[in-house]
Structure formats: structure tokens, C-alpha cells
Chains A and B, each alone.
Chain A
Amino acid sequence: MGNGAGTLTEETVVLIKADNDIVVARQQGRALASQVGFSPGEATLIATAISELSRNIVLYATQGEITVAAVANGVRRGVVVVARDKGPGISDVRRAIAGGYSTSGGLGLGLAGVRRLMDEFEIVSDVGIGTTVTAKKWKQ
């Protein structure tokens, strides 16, 4: 979670229940990233990460929420994406992030890919309780 000195300036929360919410979440995430000053290219990377994270919620947990917020750390600015669900949880988080691991017939690259798209990545998952993924990207 970086140096923990992040200051929240703005945030947007999108409830994820159906596939259309995936589009809403990534569009709002892109808008916020642009506001923070990310280039269209970088905003696309953030939007793609949000798309993957919210799809995981629809596929595995049925519902949850995506929060996108502006963060600052000294002069550095960035965005944090938090994907939260109360789904079944992931029993082997290490394998899930390593890629090539999937139980839904997907590409099995979601989390590993999100980690590559963003600068910081943290996942907390408890079986039967839920999963929270926190990913940050800092402006170059």
C-alpha cells in the first residue's frame, strides 16, 4: 500500500451487479484518471484494469463494488482502484496472482494482468468472506 501517505481528494463508487456495470465502472474510472492528469493512454490502462477487476466480481462473486479515488503522496498524484466483494474468496491467492489459474473457464490471466497494468497491487481474500483487491497507479 505504498507509503500510506495517500490523501483522498475525490472518489467514485460503482455497484457491480451485471455486465453493464463493468462498462460504467471503467468509464467513470477513466474520467477520474483524466481529471487527475493521466494521459489518454494511461487512462486506458487503468480502465482496462477496472474492467478485469469488475468482471471478476460479476463472474465469481455475483455482486460487489468498485471504488476509484484520486490519491496523492507528496507531489505524486495517482489513482487507487478498490474492488470489493463478499464472494466465495480465493483459496490460493498466490496461484491466482501467478496467472494461468482460473476456475471459470476464463483466460485465467485477470489478476496477474491487472498487477502488470498498475504500479501497486494488493489482494486480501478470505474463503467464505470475500475478496478485496487494491491497485494503484501513479502519474509518471
Chain B
Amino acid sequence: MPVPILKQRDYLIASIQAALNDEDLKRLREALVAQVGELRSRGVIVDVTALDVMDSFAARTLRDLAHMSRLRGAETVIVGIQPEVAFAMVQLGLTLEGVAAALDLEEALTYLDRKTRERARAK
């Protein structure tokens, strides 16, 4: 079940459409990290609205993705964590530390625009 990756301006948007197994998640991570370099992207948005379960493996893979992308110059935002998924994550002690999260795509884009501006100013 490959996840389509869209390019919008300087950002990559991956919208998970269905339950993913571990291999699918790893493939998504590799594809995004590779495309950040190829397309010189400044931001990565992963929409997990349709993800059925965020277990320890999924959380770790998304966290690794965010850290790897940051090392390649892009910020990552996770979008659409459902309330019950958030509750389950808290019970499991999964924190996604160091990874930005937003309620929806609009908010994620606003966040990335601000981050990108801050970085441009710092240069």
C-alpha cells in the first residue's frame, strides 16, 4: 500500500490513505527522506487522519523521519492525529518528542511557512 507523496511549493505532503504495515511505514520514511534531497524541500507534512492505529513502531518511524528530514534541512509536521489515537498514544507513553503536530493541513502549512521564514532570516 504505497502512500502518494505530493509536492506543493517547497513542501512534500504525504497523505496516508489506509492502515499501513511496518514495511509500508519504512518505505514512506525512505521515500520522504530521499525526496527532501531531490526536490530541495523545506518541509514535510504527513497526514495520519486515516491511520487506524499509532503504535510504538509507527510513532518511532515518524519520529525518525522527522529527525532524518531535519538533518537534510526540512521540518516535519504530523497532521490529523485523531482524539482516540492520541489517547491510546498517551496510554502507551508515545510522545513523538521533537516532532511538530498540527490539527489540519492549513495549520501545518502556516507552521512551515513561519519556520521557513525564521530560518531565512537567521541566515
B contacts with A, residue count (CB < 8 A): 23
A36-63: CB near B (< 8 Å → 1, else 0) gives 0000111011011001100100000000
Q: A117 and B52: CB pair below 8 A? A: no
B83-123: CB near A (< 8 Å → 1, else 0) gives 11101100111100000000000000000000000000000
Is there a chain B Cβ closer than 8 Å to A107's Cβ? Answer: yes
Give B40 Cβ to nearest chain A Cβ, in Å.
Answer: 33
Residue on A nearest B52 in the bound complex, by CB: A47
Is there a chain B Cβ closer than 8 Å to A93's Cβ? Answer: no
Residue on A nearest B25 in the bound complex, by CB: A19
Q: Which of B23, B54, B59, B93 has the most CB of A within 10 A?
A: B93
Q: B22 and A44: CB pair below 8 A? A: no
Separation of A27 and B21 alpha carbons in the complex (Å): 12
Q: B52 and A44: CB pair below 8 A? A: yes
Give B90 Cβ to nearest chain A Cβ, in Å.
Answer: 9
Give B83 Cβ to nearest chain A Cβ, in Å.
Answer: 7
Residue on A nearest B95 in the bound complex, by CB: A107
User: What residues of chain B lie closer than 8 Å to A44, measured between beta carbons?
Assistant: 52-53, 82, 84-85, 87-88
B10-23: CB near A (< 8 Å → 1, else 0) gives 00000000011111
Q: A51 and B93: CB pair below 8 A? A: no
Give A59 Cβ to nearest chain B Cβ, in Å.
Answer: 9
Q: Which of B19, B22, B82, B88 has the most CB of A within 10 A?
A: B88
Is there a chain B Cβ closer than 8 Å to A113's Cβ? Answer: yes
Give B99 Cβ to nearest chain A Cβ, in Å.
Answer: 14
Is there a chain A Cβ closer than 8 Å to B60's Cβ? Answer: yes
Residue on A nearest B60 in the bound complex, by CB: A107
User: What residues of chain B lie closer than 8 Å to A23, measured between beta carbons?
Assistant: 19-21
Is there a chain A Cβ closer than 8 Å to B56's Cβ? Answer: yes
A88-106: CB near B (< 8 Å → 1, else 0) gives 0000000000010000001
Which 7 residue pairs spanning A and B have beta carbons closest together? Answer: A113-B92, A41-B84, A19-B22, A51-B55, A44-B84, A48-B88, A116-B91
